[in-house]
Amino acid sequence: FGRRNKRRTPLDNLNFLKTASVQLAKASSMSEEELEGKIIIGEFVRKEIPEYTEGYEKLIEAVGGSKV
């Protein structure tokens, strides 16, 4: 990855990501020109979804099995 992007070492990759990254909250107040070439990072979507074990227990109950 680094060689293809003209960054020789893993440290060069990390430094690039550090300088090119912008938090989502900060990016919302920046202009399009300031965001040119930047990578926006952060939490874009937050969904409340049931845990796997909860869904699994519901499935077992639905098919009539005993609770695990």
Answer yes or no: is 67 within a domain: no
Task: Compute, in degrees rounded to 10, the torsion defined by CA atoms 34, 24, 40, 38.
Answer: 20
pLDDT of residue 1: 61
1-5, 10-14, 27-31, 41-45 — which is least confidently predicted?
A: 1-5
Is residue 68's pLDDT more than 60?
no
In terms of residue numbers, what domain contains 15? 10-62
Q: What is the mean pLDDT of residues 32-53?
A: 91
- Compute how many other C-beta atoms are within 10 angstroms of the C-beta atom of residue 12: 13
Query: Cβ(20)–Cβ(38) under 8 Å?
Result: yes
Count of domains observed in the chain: 1
Answer yes or no: is 35 within a domain: yes
Give me the half-sphere count of Cα atoms (radius 13 Å) on the Cβ side of residue 44: 4
